[in-house]
Amino acid sequence: MAGFKDIVGNEQIIEHLQNAISMGKVSHAYIINGPQLSGKMMIAEAFARALQCEKEGTDGCGECKSCHQADDHNHPDIIYVSHEKPNNISVDDIRTQLNNDIVIKPYSSKYKIYIVDEAEKMNQQAQNALLKTIEEPPAYAVIMLLTTNADSFLQTIRSRCITLNMKSVKDEVIKAYLMNEKHIPDYQADISAAFAQGIVGKAVKLASSDEFNELKESALSLIKRLDDIDLYELGAAVKQIAEYKLKVQDYFDLIMVWYRDVLYMKATNDVNGLIFKDEVYDIKKQAAKHSYHGIEAILEALEKAKIRINANVNFDLVIELLLMTIKEN
């Protein structure tokens, strides 16, 4: 389990929580809202660890018995509310694991902390059951609802919680973290940071994903030889992309970043600003060949293709139209 000092970005949320600890103004209920892999659990666990630490500072010391228990996920007063059904936190889950348990005083700490991950999966009954507890919680209780969609909660729950929204982390901060802490090579850190869209956990996952690297190799090899493919050979290219049908949005994003690099190279001739720095030879070649208008038309076509796939337009037709647009421009 990480402490606050180990978390990359989201300094405002960390400062808020540490101020709450130091000023003795810890709320009974928090909503931590943000995309998947954005670090919600790390924030919640660092807060829980700090609250239960025997040294009573604003971050867990990592050395006391309480911190060791927190790190091993066996602290008796840090409770993770789980659910058996993948898409539903039921009223029974909330009643048995939270409502019925919260009336029992802490075993060894000042607080009793409940972490509800994927809290947007609470159904209406579960939310109503939780509301009763949030309205009149015991003095020692802290409930943390981790969610990708805070708007899914009842207004009555939202009004009784402090909502903390996870913020995007800058690409250069993520890149530095991947290189210094995870020992990822710089070109790979660049690509992972660019695709993570400010989400550190996603960047870490991409950087260590063989699947993502395979996807990248497929997309780039196709784009580099597309100019030399005859129209009657497009069917084979469509089949190549169809192998990654479930990841096609990522496939489109890779192509989009490629053409943004081509546009950037055409405008600046600056290698340092490229995402695909190790592909500079082919990027320069394409920058010389394409017009500004042509590159913009390709980027627009990619956006349209993403929308059409989401709208369930025929997959092969969307891909064929996209590849023809790229060839024409």
pLDDT in tens, 230-271: 766 777 888 888 887 778 888 888 888 999 999 999 999 998
Same domain, 118 and 235: no
Same domain, 96 and 234: no
Q: Please provide the DSSP assignment of 107-148 as one string.
A: SSSS-EEEEETTGGGB-HHHHHHHHHHHHS--TTEEEEEEES
The reply to whether 175 falls in a domain is no
Same domain, 49 and 159: yes
The reply to whether 184 falls in a domain is no
The whole-angstrom distance between residue 167's C-alpha and the CA centroid of its chain comes to: 10
Same domain, 154 and 38: yes
The pair of three-digit structure tokens given for residue 250, joined into one six-digit string: 């990522």
Tally of domains in the chain = 2
The reply to whether 152 falls in a domain is yes
The reply to whether 173 falls in a domain is no
Same domain, 15 and 159: yes
Closest-CA residue to 141 (of 93, 106, 108): 106
The reply to whether 198 falls in a domain is no
CATH code for the domain of 225 = 1.20.272
The reply to whether 172 falls in a domain is no
| pTM listed for this prediction | 0.77
Same domain, 246 and 133: no
Same domain, 42 and 109: yes
Q: Please provide the DSSP assignment of 57-70 as one string.
A: SSS--SSSHHHHHH
For the ranges 86-90, 139-143, 229-233, the one whose mean pLDDT is highest = 139-143
pLDDT in tens, 188-199: 888 888 888 899
Same domain, 24 and 160: yes
Q: Of 48-52, 57-61, 308-312, give the lowest mean pLDDT range.
A: 308-312
Closest-CA residue to 77 (of 41, 53, 56): 53
More confident residue, 114 or 208: 114
Query: How many distinct helices (H) and strands (E) make up the chain?
Result: 16, 5
Q: Of 12-21, 140-149, 270-279, give the lowest mean pLDDT range.
A: 270-279
The reply to whether 199 falls in a domain is no
Rounded mean pLDDT of 297-303? 92
The reply to whether 200 falls in a domain is no
Residues 229 and 327: their CA atoms lie apart, in Å, by 9
Which DSSP category does 86 fall into?
T
The pair of three-digit structure tokens given for residue 213, joined into one six-digit string: 């690297």
pLDDT in tens, 212-228: 888 888 888 888 888 77
Proportion of the chain above pLDDT 70, given as a percent: 99
Note down the domain range covering 22. Answer: 4-165
Confidence class of residue 1 from pLDDT cuts 50, 70 and 90? low
The pair of three-digit structure tokens given for residue 278, joined into one six-digit string: 């190790």
Rounded mean pLDDT of 42-60? 94
Same domain, 161 and 214: no
Q: Of 72-81, 201-210, 243-252, give the lowest mean pLDDT range.
A: 243-252
CA–CA distances in Å: residue 210 to residues 186, 188, 207, 238: 17, 12, 8, 22
